[in-house]
Structure 1
Amino acid sequence: MVLVLFDSDVLVSKIILAGCIAVLFYLILHYALKMLEMGYVLKYMKPWYTHFYLRSKKLSKQQRHVLQQDFPFFNKLDKKYRGYFEHRLVSFMSDKDFLGREGFQVNDEVKVLISATAVMLTFGFRDYYIGIISKIMIYPKAFYSNTNKTFHKGEFNPRLGVLVLSWEDFKLGLDISNDNLNLGIHEFTHAIHINSIKERDISSTIFSDSFKELKELLQHRPELRETLLSSGYFRNYAFTNQFEFLAVLMETFIETPKEFQANFPEVYAKVRQMLNFKFANY
């Protein structure tokens, strides 16, 4: 009996030791890979990989119809990337709470188009959830904001994790696709910007570091800064502060990329680097 107990204790000890060694090996390997990727990021300013899904999620037939009909970016992607986009869209919609205000009814069209805007902006990211957002509130049109006692078309509250949109103005931004005015892109950029400051995952690091490089470029190139200011290509609101500047840059990058690249190639390259945008002819 004593011998049996002794053998049993030895076996348990060996199992525990093997488990500890396995965990230690995993941690060392995980840390080593993270360090290697960070070195890769510092050199090339892009992640090792962006898309990896064990099982792809699919939209319903109705949801896919909305996406194909009303979101041109999706149709610019090749078949493989359209599958990735669908997976991310389903995942993003499941992760957020969509709340209608002032009688507004949230349906598939609303969820798909708003979420597609977020997924588009983060399509070059590995982590695309924009974790700082937990709720998306939709009003039928411009709403009164208690924050600064005025009417807003959209706003983002990082403290509450709430992004708020006027559906009327959001849709207008989609329907007119070449005026460099897109409420969805603008407000989601604010959320991505703040999220990149808060988080330190690979994509957030690339986003925030690339924006820092852009600010340094403009600081050391006063003639480029002056050209930006006087060109009329970026609306005056862009120069309110760094957050509005970045939001307007993203609107112009998405809506008129060829004109942006032709007029300001260095700035365009930095924005493209921030988003890791290497698809859909960007």
Structure 2
Amino acid sequence: MLIANTFSAAGRGTAALELPPSLEGSGLLVGWSMEHERGKAPMGFSFGDPEATPAMGFVDPILMDGEGHLLTIAPTGAGKGVGCIVPALLRYMGSAIVLDPKGENASITARWRRSNGQQVVVLDPMGLTGQESGTLNPLDLIDPAAATGVDDAAALVTALLPNSLDDGKNTFWVSRARQLLLALILHAVTDLPPNERTLTKVRQLASRLAADPDGVSRSFAASRHPEVRMIQGNLQISARETLGGIVAFAQEGVDFLRGPQLQAAVERTSFDLGAVVRGDPLTIYLVLP
């Protein structure tokens, strides 16, 4: 069911143009055609059922059939949300991960998707939507015993310390900081008790490293993970003349966890991560301003 709305009638006579009360057939709703004459549908798209969308009176929905990627580009305020994202979330009943910086999409569509059989998780640590926030521990995504364990941890490190930090002058420090964070994360998921395998603990270990490098170095050397032991040798953690700079850059990657709200948001995972892989009816809204 679509919310009724009225458009300008420019180009289609004097009658008011309205959204149809419903859409027939399948396909992902990506927009509306305002052309006076129905032309050839763009490649990869189709118009809705002509009986439901007559030439006069209703605007024609443009639907995307089949699998594929879709990129919508428009300036701020052009209607990407109300014209594309919200209608898609109200119509498409498959699983979805929604990047929702302002929380608007969750506020409008979460209840609808939940009422239609979706498990809905709103990751909203700052409380923008007023809904109960789910939680996600990124370290739960890393299995140190898996063949991809090191690569998965390295991908998280790159997200925490993005390439934008390297301005050409900091290449050495960023590279070493990434190695250090990789060792800290792998050490956490391999050697620490399950309740301490969190990014908050990684941040604490990074801070401890500045005060007690020898202690952390010994922990790395005794790690059950070979990558941690190798990084311990490469970084020469006990070399204090370079350690300060490495730790400072590494801490930049986890310093966003200063407040209790964000710490609580990454403490544990409140939903089944396997549901994402299996394609279960699950919608995750990432409300991260």
Q: Same fold (TM over 0.5)?
A: no
Q: TM-score, normalised by structure 1?
A: 0.29
- Rg (Cα) greater in structure: 2
Q: Which structure dedicates a bigger proportion of its chain to helix?
A: 1
Choose between structure 1 and 2 for higher RCO, CA contacts under 8 A separated by at least 6 residues.
2
